[in-house]
Amino acid sequence: MLGTEPSGATRTVIVTVDDDPAVSRAVARDLRRRYGEGHRIVRAESGESALEALREMRLRGDAVAVILADYRMPEMNGIEFLERAMDIFPGARRVLLTAYADTGAAIDAINVVDLDHYLLKPWDPPEEKLYPVVDALLDAWRSSDHRPVRETKVVGHRWSARSSGVREFLARNQVPYHWYASDEPEGQALLSAADEDGARLPVVITPDGKPLVEPTDQDLASSVGLATTPSARFYDLVVIGGGPAGLGSAVYGASEGLRTVLVERTATGGQAGQSSRIENYLGFPDGVSGGQLTDRAHRQATRFGAEILTACEVTGLEVCGSARTVHFADGSAVSAHTVILATGVSYRQLHAPGIAELTGRGVFYGSALTEAARCQEQDVYIVGGANSAGQAAVYLARGAKSVTILVRGDSLTASMSHYLIQQIAATPSIRVRTCTEVVGAEGEDHLERITLRDTANGTTETVDAGWLFVFIGAAPLTDWLDGTVLRDERGFVVAGPDLAPPGERPADWPLERPPYHLETSVPGVFVAGDARSESAKRVASAVGEGAMAVMLVHRYLERL
């Protein structure tokens, strides 16, 4: 039997365990009389039921300050119980209730379970024998920092690709979380509370105490309150992709009265959302982080009524008369009068021996800002010569011992903004190695070394490296459009005047009018941002195209 005094869930907990119901009630009564106003009193009549309650409280993030256990209990005595309870709440103060004949065992328990105190039965009067002991233990507990963590908790291996992916997903979706390494005491305590032995990682514990073992992104999204399924079956506008172009489309579409849903497979912001600092965006003279810009745009879109779905992977686009149907990986679909393709681009894979095996374990694509704190006083290498690489270098240089930018070309001027080149030149800890490429990576459970090749003379060298961030090229996320929407040889979506020579209509174009500027080879389907062929690949232009696409959507709808 387990009894819990009704009270607020935020109060510190005192737990008492005794197999004798009468004694259990008496201990709880005396504790409630003195501490009930400021503490929650939990009583249990067996060690197993008490351990189950402790696990639930640990997963919820409750704070247990004191545990009182009777020594003589069947199946599990008080010392055995406290030894297991230590694994769940190592900071809780421990008290053993004993008879006079058991004092020898109680003294031995001081060494076995680091016992804080033992009390002889009976404890009457409690004002003399019980309360002074509990008062002192509560004071000692308060002097240590055992405040509960009510955020999402992530327990994982330090060098696990999926653990890193979970942290990145939560961070990019603005979900507060606390990280626990699986090989450290706090992480082990949480795994024990979740009844996991660490063989399956990561384990994510939601704020309400539910453990998720090896969760998918969709599992995570659902557990933290992110919408993953549309609320309706038909909309005026479906925006595919949540980067600057997609968010711009959602803001303008919803603000102008269109029933708008934005579909994002990972997190809003796209590549721009991962940027540590954007300093050339209009209206932000002191710069703005990609996360801040994304968060503001996300809130702006929802304030106007746009629906935003996360962890939804789009697999196909179907033309059904005047409707445009978007299919998802889980077999569901949503339809609309119009669609804006704002899928953006992803970083190209670095094809070199060892890179794939060490991705997420020292090798990262993009800035992976959740890893930045672990780069303190470390030697960091960055592959790439565009703005995203430069922004990451300047950001990481704040704490890293050194940052080396590896560029295949002979300078940064062809692909990086002038202001970033100046910042890099003025940062002593940043070094730029031109005419250099990564041709190999090595390491046991994480990255330890990389092999570099000089593209000018062909010589190679191997250097120690624990961190490699890759920012190379731009691969459009448009394979799912194959056979439906015209793309160029690199996979970027062709639109507007690029669909046909001047003065000619595109082949198979079904309408009398020519395509609008951002309209694809399918009427009513538009493209904006980096996914468009020959786009500018800048945040400001992506936002502008998102707004322009909505204007063209209105023009299309007026002629339906």
Taking 80 as the threshold, does the pLDDT of residue 341 lie above it?
Answer: yes
Overall average pLDDT of the 351-380 stretch = 89
pLDDT at residue 207 in the model: 86
Architecture of domain 234-346+475-558 in this structure: 3-Layer(bba) Sandwich (3.50)
pLDDT at residue 271 in the model: 85
Question: Pseudo-torsion of CA 33, 34, 39, 42, nearest 10°?
Answer: -50
pLDDT at residue 103 in the model: 66
pLDDT digits (tens, 9 = 90+) for 421-476: 999 999 999 999 999 999 999 999 899 999 999 999 999 999 999 999 999 978 89
Question: Pseudo-torsion of CA 370, 444, 348, 433, nearest 10°?
Answer: 90
Q: Helices in 464-538 by DSSP H: which ranges? A: none
Choose between 429 and 278: higher pLDDT.
429
> pLDDT averaged over the chain?
90
CA distances to 249, 297, 326, 544 from 528, rounded to whole Å, are 9, 16, 17, 9
Overall average pLDDT of the 331-344 stretch = 97
Range with the poorest average pLDDT among 4-8, 72-76, 339-343, 489-493? 4-8
Taking 50 as the threshold, does the pLDDT of residue 8 lie above it?
Answer: no
Range with the poorest average pLDDT among 276-280, 296-300, 524-528, 530-534? 276-280
Residue whose C-alpha is closest to residue 42's, from 76, 79, 6:
6
Taking 50 as the threshold, does the pLDDT of residue 22 lie above it?
Answer: yes
**Please, what's the b/e burial string for 218-250 (b: 16 or more CB within 10 A of its CB; e: otherwise)?**
bbbbbbbebbbebeeeebbbbbbbbbbbbbbbb
CATH fold label, 152-213: Glutaredoxin (3.40.30)
Which residues are CB-neighbours of 263 under 8 A, at least 6 positions away?
238, 239, 240, 241, 242, 309, 312, 314, 326, 328, 334
Radius of gyration of the chain (CA): 30
Cβ(258)–Cβ(236) under 8 Å?
A: yes
**Please, what's the b/e burial string for 151-170 (b: 16 or more CB within 10 A of its CB; e: otherwise)?**
ebbbbbbbbbbebbbbbbbb
Instruction: Kindly state the helix (H) or strand (E) to which residue 22 belongs, with its residue range.
Output: helix 21-35
Residues of the chain with CATH 3.50.50.60: 234-346+475-558, 355-470
pLDDT digits (tens, 9 = 90+) for 402-413: 999 999 999 999
pLDDT at residue 93 in the model: 92
Q: How far apart are CA 193 and CA 51, in angstroms?
A: 9
The DSSP code sequence of 240-298 is: E--SHHHHHHHHHHHHTT--EEEE-SS-TTHHHHT-S-B-SSTT-TT-B-HHHHHHHHH
Cβ(451)–Cβ(421) under 8 Å?
A: no
Cβ(354)–Cβ(443) under 8 Å?
A: yes
pLDDT at residue 72 in the model: 86
Residues of the chain with CATH 3.40.30.10: 152-213
Cβ(66)–Cβ(137) under 8 Å?
A: yes
Helix axes 21-35, 131-143, angle to 10 degrees: 60
Structure tokens at 460: 């190679």
3-state secondary structure 393-450: HHHHCCCCCEEEEECCCCCCCCCCCHHHHHHHHCCCCEEEECCEEEEEEECCCCCCEE
pLDDT digits (tens, 9 = 90+) for 184-212: 988 998 999 998 998 999 999 998 889 99
Which residues are CB-neighbours of 159 under 8 A, at least 6 positions away?
361, 362, 445, 446
Overall average pLDDT of the 365-381 stretch = 85
Residue whose C-alpha is closest to residue 370's, from 163, 168, 100:
168
* Residue with tokens 């509560």, as numbered in its chain: 138
Class of domain 355-470: alpha beta
Residue whose C-alpha is closest to residue 53's, from 109, 101, 122, 5:
5
Confidence of residue 5 (pLDDT cuts 50, 70, 90): very low
pLDDT at residue 113 in the model: 62
pLDDT at residue 264 in the model: 97
Share of the chain above pLDDT 90, in %: 66
Range with the poorest average pLDDT among 19-28, 263-272, 396-405, 499-508? 499-508
Residue 212 backbone dihedrals phi, psi, to 5 degrees: -115, 120
Confidence of residue 149 (pLDDT cuts 50, 70, 90): low
Q: How far apart are CA 47 and CA 442, in angstroms?
A: 49
Class of domain 2-143: alpha beta
Taking 80 as the threshold, does the pLDDT of residue 308 lie above it?
Answer: yes
Taking 90 as the threshold, does the pLDDT of residue 287 lie above it?
Answer: no
| DSSP assigned state of 349 | P
One-letter identity of residue 178: H
| DSSP assigned state of 40 | E
Q: How far apart are CA 522 and CA 410, in angstroms?
A: 42
Helix axes 78-88, 103-112, angle to 10 degrees: 20
Confidence of residue 493 (pLDDT cuts 50, 70, 90): very high
CA distances to 174, 207, 223, 246, 267 from 150, rounded to whole Å, are 15, 5, 14, 33, 23
Contacts 24+ apart (CB under 8 A), 346-350: 346/271, 346/474, 346/475, 346/477, 347/271, 347/470, 347/471, 347/472, 347/473, 347/474, 347/475, 348/472, 348/473, 348/474, 348/475, 350/383, 350/438, 350/470, 350/472
pLDDT at residue 309 in the model: 97
Taking 60 as the threshold, does the pLDDT of residue 359 lie above it?
Answer: yes
